Amino acid sequence: MAEANLTSEREAGDAPREADQPHDSLVAHFGTDKPLKLDAGVELSPFQIAYKTYGTPNAARSNAVLICHALTGDQHVASVHPITKKSGWWETMVGPGKPIDTERYFVICPNVVGACMGTTGPSSTDPKTGKPWGLDFPVITIRDMVRAQAMLLDHLGIDSLFAVAGGSMGGMQVLQWAASYPERVFSALPIACATRHSAQNIAFHEVGRQAIMADPEWRGGRYHLEGTNPRRGLAVARMGAHITYLSDAALHRKFGRKFQDRENPTFSFDADFEVESYLRHQGISFVERFDANSYLYLTRAMDYFDLAADHNGVLANAFKRTPTRFCLISFTSDWLFPTSESRAVVHALNAAGARVSFAEIVTDKGHDAFLLDEPELFAIVRGFLDGAGKARGLGPKAER
Amino acid sequence: MSRFKRDNPELTIAGSPRAPGDARVDLVLVAEMVERGAKVLDVGCGDGELLRILSESRGVDGRGIELSREGVNECVAKGLAVIQGDADTDLGDYPDDAFDYVILSQTLQATRHPRVVLEHMLRIGRHAIVSFPNFGHWQVRLQLLFAGHMPQTDILPHSWYDTPNIHHCTIKDFRQLCTEIGVQMEKAVALNAWGKPLRLNAPWWFWNLFGEQAVFLLSRQG
């Protein structure tokens, strides 16, 4: 039955306190003396950042690579996820001998502010009340996420990053990094992203948020207190969003009109089609590891992102006299962040006189291509980082 | 005849289409027209060979634009700063005086609006370097005159129906265009079919007949 399929095993009461005490992660605590100043005009304090590191910093601390995760990603970029037990979300890209080589670079991947895997967010405990923040958590922006990451780097004693890399919402953070802290970013790899969220993207996000809010278990965002969990709303949000990460061609190639474990239609609303079954699975497995309110806050942060608007409407002004080397990558079948968006960034960077590379990769895998096995993507990232590494004076292996 | 100094490439160019290091002679010629450490945009940079030569031999800060996806991805994977773009549509996005040199190597004849492209090049850069196959070369003329078909030569190997070259010109034509748009010709070199530079004191008609390709260094008037 459809209903049964959308109900997960875990009961609401034992919601993981991953938000406060994350597994397999390092945690940096920022006390009341180090508040995070938010764009919303308030301060978040105290707060914490959960992060993972891979590799070793070199003597000059010049080989640090910051990985910024996407909307539903987390710090577990290249190691087993503590909840799903699946391998890291970007293990194709990050690891020993991989394009972002952890034998060469010191990789840092923090969980963003507003998320639910150990960095302070709406499911974290509000120190003032001792209860989860819920909707009392302030609205955060991409710039807030980046500001927090800069504080983490200060905490780690890293002045300048060799590279900042990320796709989708991660790519937005990369662009924000280059705009906010140009002197701290030697090279930037924004992949499958844009400097602003389009009306269509905001619209898709709103559908997801409404699905969560329409779930009676959401309880005005107070589900942690009331012992419920808007699983079905969050699962539907994920199902809708997941379609936007793929492409028509990829869905057709993968599923076509094939039936799921049956020869004929059942003449019911059961998941007859493979594609339905797949989406339901995506929805269910997502709610196991993600918090509904975090989904609201992070989609909101993406919606608000508009780098040009922060610079009098002129995108090039965001990158004036930037010393950063850029490499932008887009995918032909990505309709969420189409190539035209990357091209607009390239134009602005050219106008700003920046050192920029841009490549579009042919694939039918849609937006998610940045997470998948795309040999051309790996070759470009490797080549770009090798070139930047030479310019930075990094040896083939990190000097211990 | 315009008054300008012709370069003397014979000091450095080997007598074959491939220079030492196996680089294409016309690319080496172009590279030698670029000042050391300059900021250069190579329009239609292909697989990045010229950018590589420029960065290795002249220490330039080089950028490239390339139409073909394969070319771009190959360049970026080599660590070059190259973007996918089209000379006809994307040069307008660059600000004035962004580069010391803008180079168009063997691409002018493939653009839709060569004159506009040339004007953009000299708006974006202080200098422009243009190399192109000379359609006035004797082999080309003979094929059309006696064989009566569209010329096909070593450097123009395409059939008429699948050639990317839609705006062929002769050395004479190109000089005329430069005069029309008020461009100053600083240096010029013509190479014969064996990749050897023609005599510098030869008259223009000789270049136009025996030069298989030409390289011009241009700058804004005044």
CATH number at B9-135+166-220: 3.40.50.150
* Predicted pLDDT of residue B70: 85
Chain B contacts in chain A segment 300-359 (CB below 8 A): 325, 327, 346-347, 350-351, 353, 355-359
Ranges of each domain in chain B: 9-135+166-220
Is residue A137 pLDDT above 90, yes or no? Answer: yes
* Predicted pLDDT of residue B16: 33
Is residue A35 pLDDT above 60, yes or no? Answer: yes
A334 is catalytic: yes
Is residue A5 pLDDT above 70, yes or no? Answer: no
Contacts of B81 in chain A (CB under 8 A): 325, 355-357
Q: What is the pTM of this model?
A: 0.89
Please give the full DSSP string across A45-85, using - where no structure is assigned: -SEEEEEEEES---TTS--EEEEEP-TT--S-SSS--TTT-
pLDDT bin (cut points 50, 70, 90) of residue A365 is very high
Using CA atoms, how far apart are residues B116 and B123, in angstroms rounded to an integer? 10
Cβ contacts below 8 Å, chain A against chain B, sum to: 62
* Predicted pLDDT of residue B22: 63
Among candidates B63, B93, B94 on the partner chain, residue whose Cβ is nearest the Cβ of A355: B63
Taking only the tens place, the pLDDT of each residue in A185-202 is: 999 999 999 999 999 999
The one-letter code for the residue type at A385 is L
DSSP run (H or E) holding B122: helix B114-124
| Mean pLDDT on A16-20 | 81
Using CA atoms, how far apart are residues A208 and A135, in angstroms rounded to an integer? 17
| Mean pLDDT on A197-220 | 98
Please answer whether residues A161 and A107 qualify as being in contact, where contact means their C-beta atoms are separated by less than 8 angstroms.
no
Cβ–Cβ below 8 Å for B76 and A382: no
Cβ–Cβ below 8 Å for B76 and A356: no
Q: Which residue blocks in chain A are alpha helix, DSSP H?
A: 2-5, 142-156, 169-180, 199-214, 223-226, 231-245, 248-254, 274-289, 292-304, 339-351, 375-392
| Mean pLDDT on B147-167 | 94
Per-chain mean pLDDT for chain A: 93
| Mean pLDDT on A373-391 | 93
| Mean pLDDT on A370-390 | 94
* Predicted pLDDT of residue B7: 40
DSSP run (H or E) holding A326: strand A325-331
Distance (Å) from the C-alpha of residue B49 to the closest C-alpha of chain A? 15
Percent of chain B with pLDDT over 90: 73
Which of the listed ranges A207-211, A392-396, B28-32 does the model predict with the highest average pLDDT? A207-211
| Mean pLDDT on B174-197 | 94
Burial class (CB in 10 A: 0-12, 13-18, 19+), A39: middle
* Predicted pLDDT of residue B222: 64
Per-chain mean pLDDT for chain B: 88
Is residue A400 pLDDT above 50, yes or no? Answer: no
- Residue B179 backbone dihedrals phi, psi, to 5 degrees: -65, -45
CA A348 to centroid of chain Cα atoms:
24
Is residue B201 pLDDT above 90, yes or no? Answer: no
Cβ–Cβ below 8 Å for A383 and B69: no
Is residue B88 pLDDT above 50, yes or no? Answer: yes
In sequence order, the β-bridge partners of residue A327 are: A357
| Residue A222 three-state SS | coil
Taking only the tens place, the pLDDT of each residue in B113-127 is: 999 999 999 999 999
* Predicted pLDDT of residue A369: 96
Return the CA Rg of chain A: 21
* Predicted pLDDT of residue A17: 78
Which tops the pLDDT comparison, A247 or A397?
A247
- Residue B147 backbone dihedrals phi, psi, to 5 degrees: -80, -25
pLDDT bin (cut points 50, 70, 90) of residue A2 is very low
In chain A the domains, ranked by start, together with CATH numbers, are 2-9+202-300 (1.10.1740.110), 18-199+306-392 (3.40.50.1820)
Cβ–Cβ below 8 Å for A327 and B94: no
